[in-house]
Amino acid sequence: MRMRKKPNLGPRMEACDRVWVRDPAALKGHWKALMPAAKEIRLEIGCGKGKFTVETAKAEPDVLLIALEKVPDAMVMAMEYAMREHLSNVFFIDADATVLPDLFAEGEVDLIYLNFCDPWPRNKTAKLRLTYRTFLDKYATVLCDGGQIHFKTDNRPLFDFSLDEFRRCNLEVRNVTNDLHRDGIVGIMTGYEERFHSLGTPINRCECIVHKDTYKRSEERMERIRMTTPLVEIDGDEMTRILWKSIKEQLILPFVDLKVDYYDLGLPKRDETGDQITHDCAEAIKKYGVGVKCATITPNAQRMTEYNLHEMWKSPNGTIRAALDGTVFRAPILVDGISPAVRNWKAPITIARHAYGDVYRGTEVRATAGGKAELVFTDKDGNESRQTIYDFECDGVVTGQYNKDSSIASFARSCFQYALDTKQDLWFSTKDTIAKKYDGTFKEIFQTIYDNEYKEKFKAAGLTYFYTLIDDAVARVIRSEGGLIWACKNYDGDVMSDMVSTAFGSLAMMTSVLVSPDGKYEYEAAHGTVTRHYYQYLEGKETSTNPMATIFAWTGALSKRGELDGNEALQTFAAKLEKACIDTIEGGTMTKDLAALWEKDKAHVVTSDGFLAAVRTRLERSL
């Protein structure tokens, strides 16, 4: 039923501040602080105008009653009713059942009332019913062992459906009736119930008891998708490691019979193995073809001390990229409701980053005053060529870096082919006016391969390739509408991918895949380990860390694994999980970083766990 917009809704809500819990997540595990002497905590889902809520609270003053209602226009009327009755044992939350585990601790609730919920009569919307198995999972989580669900409805098909769901979950069902008030009014009625009863409509009611040791969760009743070939799973560090585990447990393992070849690239393990484990996981990707990687720490001097490392190990990403000789393609994850900071960007900009060599495989030394740095090259016959880099009149630093024609050629071919596959123009940029030989080699190899192998293909596809200087490319990209691939050298791609992702919304809203010339794939999040949030987590604080990039690393890897193995079910699952993530954000539920960018109605900011729970709810509906 559509309710009329209540006049002065905001001020009326504010006037009910005493019974309105604005930040329910903050009370998770501590709801009895509202009423320490309460003998029970009861929850009503969908309180409407509050008749049942208030009358129940009046009848049982030693019970703490929490009422959820997602329609503020109805909830304000319920709160005003409670305020008029001067009740101190009833409180209200503007939320719905999908977020219950984010608001209540496991086993914190004694009884849940479900009164006259929407029947969602069409079969394809059955998963929206509040008695559907995935909602029952949430109730079973927050209810104590032996906790109860009391369910009433005038809709007989919904009641029969619900009884079946209750029994499939191994709930103990009792006191079932299809005409509750046949011999006289029983218990407290809702407003709807009074109306139905006056019309002679029979009311269905039952009670369910949750026994924790026998309850069957939805994932236990669902056949998981099977895999034939393992993924290479590469674990990481800090907050992303925490998210990694949660994503697997909440969004992957309940639905996929996951086969992995596991490598722990957390910094302590890399130090313990002398970084051998990084090389081992790269070889595993070569063997199995697809890997998925968590963000990892690249140590600096401060990390050396913090982790008591034996050595300042190189970037694990750099090591894996060198082993695979691949190209990193990064593109933003777009959602309706968050516009790019660059107003004229209308379509994604994909960064193609050469993932080999340059500063990431460089060698560096400290120079002392009076010394001379030279560049020495010895050919295969032992002949030396020597150039002075600098005569140091004071202390300084020197670095040496390299690249290979074969790797540059692989990079070029990957970019041209990816442009054809995705039907996007390709831009390439370096600084060959300064680094005439180094960057000039990149430019020449790209142009030669384009002219000899791809020019006619691009022409037939209506696509454009052009080269320009890196500073000019930056200006052109900012003025463009997007919808292009921007190929960059290793360091340029590292920096520009962060710039592009942030301008599109958030660094955590970026996909990243490393593609080798022989068709090996490594998917990862394009951001770091979120150190600040990790320290908050260690202090026992809940964080609102955006898991999108890490989820999309998993979906990318699962989809590619499915594609290579001919596993359509795995590909479909990955696509549905991505859609569930995007739909969750577009529905207004998001982590804190996105809320500041949100342009629609007020964002519902949740913790990382709350976001994963909301995504799972949508995912379960789609499966």
Ranges under pLDDT 70 in the chain: 1-7, 218-222
CA distance 17 to 11: 10
Query: What is the distance between the terminal CA atoms of the chain, rounded to a whole angstrom?
Result: 28
- The reply to whether 118 sits in an annotated binding site is yes
Report pLDDT for 290.
97
The fold adopted by the segment(s) 224-317+516-623 is Isopropylmalate Dehydrogenase (3.40.718)
Q: What share of the chain is helix, strand, coil (3-state, %, to 5)?
A: 45, 20, 35
Report pLDDT for 360.
84
**Sequence-distant (≥ 6) Cβ neighbours of residue 276 within 8 angstroms:** none
Domain parsing of the chain, residue ranges: 9-220, 224-317+516-623, 339-356+410-504, 363-400
Yes or no: say if 491 and 359 are a contact pair by the CB < 8 Å rule.
Answer: yes
- HEC readout, 221-262: CCCCEECCCCEEEEECCHHHHHHHHHHHHHHHCCCEECCEEE
* SS3 (DSSP) at 214: coil
- The reply to whether 271 sits in an annotated binding site is no
Report pLDDT for 7.
64
- The reply to whether 201 sits in an annotated binding site is no
Q: pLDDT for 285-305, tens place per residue?
A: 999 999 999 999 999 888 988
- For residue 432 the two structure tokens come to 């060959």
CA distance 64 to 31: 9
Yes or no: say if 82 and 119 are a contact pair by the CB < 8 Å rule.
Answer: no
The CA angle 585-590-592, to the nearest 5 degrees, is: 145
Report pLDDT for 1.
40
- The reply to whether 620 sits in an annotated binding site is no
- The reply to whether 502 sits in an annotated binding site is no
Report pLDDT for 249.
87
CA distance 55 to 375: 86
Common-topology check for domains 9-220 and 224-317+516-623: no
Report pLDDT for 478.
95
- The reply to whether 193 sits in an annotated binding site is yes
**Nearest in space to 130 (alpha carbons), one of 100, 107, 172, 175:** 100
Report pLDDT for 219.
58
Report pLDDT for 295.
95
* Domain 9-220 CATH (choose: 3.40.50.150, 3.40.50.1220, 3.50.50.60, 3.30.559.10): 3.40.50.150
- The reply to whether 154 sits in an annotated binding site is yes
Q: pLDDT for 427-486, tens place per residue?
A: 999 999 999 999 999 999 999 999 999 999 999 999 999 999 999 999 999 999 999 999
Report pLDDT for 287.
97
* SS3 (DSSP) at 367: strand
Task: Give the mean pLDDT of the chain.
Answer: 92
CA distance 511 to 530: 17
pTM: predicted TM-score of the whole model, two decimal places: 0.63
- The reply to whether 190 sits in an annotated binding site is yes
- The reply to whether 523 sits in an annotated binding site is no
